[in-house]
């Protein structure tokens, strides 16, 4: 049972007057995404719909609207800095994204990874229907060991890209059946696959067998992350490969055996901190049960990865799950 924060909400401009539609849309975009200039083609008749899924870590928004242009200027970035990323993928219509002197034209079957930390222009036609997945900067910068892969385009019509598209669709379709832990786990895997796609774009010369080795190593580490004896050497023995093979495969995606093991252990701890069934475990017990040598080692790595301590994340999760007073709705009437 999940104890994390997760909710779904829908916004439709058709539920307010035509004069209020653009104001409602601008307000939601500022809250859901970041501060931008919105340029409506037909403000008096603008119509749009947003379906938002949100946890403490990720957000997926399905949006459909009339023609509009979104602009993030250097001035807005100074006013409201935001280093995070957005994965944009249309299901219908066309999106034009301009960032870092690049232009990407996105149609169904394609997607793009962009950062909110640099100026951009995003415009689309009147038949737009698509998704925007919000991804914390640490989830991209840390695995890829670099900053801002600006306007990185992906082919979502075949292979790994098609799997990513299917996962995003399913994450939306099953939105009312998910918990915070399930939503985050699926989003984690989508981001992991996006990082693999990004590395594939940057390194077309990576041998196919190394791609296979990397995928199997990730699965093995995920299944054995809690084993305190897990190392690069131990996984090499278990999988029947040389340690050098594993190091080369992970180097292609900007990580190491040690870094991958630490990443999976931290995710395991995060999920357990948000799980009501693990409420009885102390931070020290969680550390040992997740493969860490001590609570202090866990706390140091956890703060570096997530920006807060394990105890602070648990406290935040508990606060998010405290039910509102029974008469709260009556007081707001």
pLDDT in tens, 238-288: 998 999 989 988 887 778 999 999 989 998 998 888 888 888 999 999 999
Q: Is 69 exposed, middle or buried (0-12, 13-18, 19+ CB in 10 A)?
A: middle
pLDDT in tens, 274-307: 888 888 999 999 999 999 999 999 999 999 888 8
pLDDT in tens, 202-222: 444 445 567 778 888 988 998
Distance between CA 325 and CA 333 in Å, rounded?
Answer: 14
Residue 298 in contact with residue 286, Cβ under 8 Å?
A: yes
Superfamily of domain 6-198: Jelly Rolls (2.60.120.10)
Kindly write down the DSSP assignment for every residue of 44-98, as one continuous string. GG--EEEEEEEESS-EEEEEEESSEEEEE-HHHHHHS----EEEEEEEES-EEEE
Residue 286 in contact with residue 273, Cβ under 8 Å?
A: yes
Fold held by 208-320: Arc Repressor Mutant, subunit A (1.10.10)
Higher pLDDT, 329 or 69: 69
Distance between CA 58 and CA 144 in Å, rounded?
Answer: 18
pLDDT in tens, 63-96: 999 999 999 999 999 999 998 999 999 999 999 9
For the entire predicted model, the pTM comes to: 0.73
The residues with which 130 forms a beta bridge, in sequence order, are 63, 90
pLDDT score of 199 more than 70: no
Residue 323's pLDDT is: 56
> What is the token pair recorded at 84?
């995070």
Report the percent of the chain where pLDDT is more than 90.
58
**Under DSSP, is residue 304 helix (H, G, I), strand (E, B) or coil?**
helix
User: Which has the closest alpha carbon to 25: 41, 38, 42?
Assistant: 38
Distance between CA 2 and CA 25 in Å, rounded?
Answer: 31
> What is the token pair recorded at 88?
């944009």
**Under DSSP, is residue 291 helix (H, G, I), strand (E, B) or coil?**
coil
pLDDT in tens, 126-148: 889 999 999 998 888 765 555 44
Residue 84 in contact with residue 33, Cβ under 8 Å?
A: no
Domain ranges of the chain: 6-198, 208-320
């Amino acid at each position: 049972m999940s104890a994390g924060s997760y909710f779904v909400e829908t916004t439709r401009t058709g539920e307010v007057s035509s004069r209020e539609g653009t104001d409602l849309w601008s307000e939601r975009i500022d809250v859901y995404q970041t501060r931008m200039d919105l340029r409506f083609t037909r403000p008096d008749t603008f119509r749009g719909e947003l379906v938002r899924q949100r946890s403490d870590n990720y957000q997926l928004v399905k949006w459909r609207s009339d023609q509009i242009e979104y602009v993030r200027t250097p001035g807005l970035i100074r006013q409201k800095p935001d280093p995070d990323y957005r994965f944009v993928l249309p299901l219908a219509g066309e999106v034009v994204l301009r960032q870092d002197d690049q232009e990407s034209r996105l149609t169904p079957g394609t997607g793009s990874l962009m950062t909110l930390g640099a100026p951009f222009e995003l415009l689309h036609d009147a038949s737009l229907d698509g998704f925007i997945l919000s991804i914390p900067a640490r989830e991209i910068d840390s695995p890829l060991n670099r900053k801002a892969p600006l306007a990185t385009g992906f082919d979502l019509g075949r292979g790994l890209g098609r799997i990513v598209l299917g996962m995003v669709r399913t994450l939306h379709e099953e939105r009312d059946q998910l918990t915070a832990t399930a939503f985050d786990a699926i989003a984690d895997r989508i981001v992991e696959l996006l990082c693999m796609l990004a590395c594939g774009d940057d390194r077309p010369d990576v041998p196919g067998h190394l791609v296979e080795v990397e995928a199997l190593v990730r699965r093995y580490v995920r299944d054995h992350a809690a084993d305190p004896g897990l190392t690069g050497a131990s996984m090499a023995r278990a999988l029947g490969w040389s340690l050098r093979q594993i190091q080369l495969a992970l180097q292609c995606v900007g990580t190491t055996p040690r870094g991958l093991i630490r990443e999976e252990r931290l995710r395991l701890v995060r999920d357990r901190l948000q799980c009501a069934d693990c409420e009885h475990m102390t931070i020290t017990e969680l550390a040992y049960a997740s493969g860490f040598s001590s609570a202090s080692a866990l706390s140091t790595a956890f703060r570096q990865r997530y920006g807060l301590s394990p105890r602070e994340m648990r406290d935040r999760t508990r606060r998010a799950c405290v039910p509102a007073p029974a008469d709260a709705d009556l007081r707001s009437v």
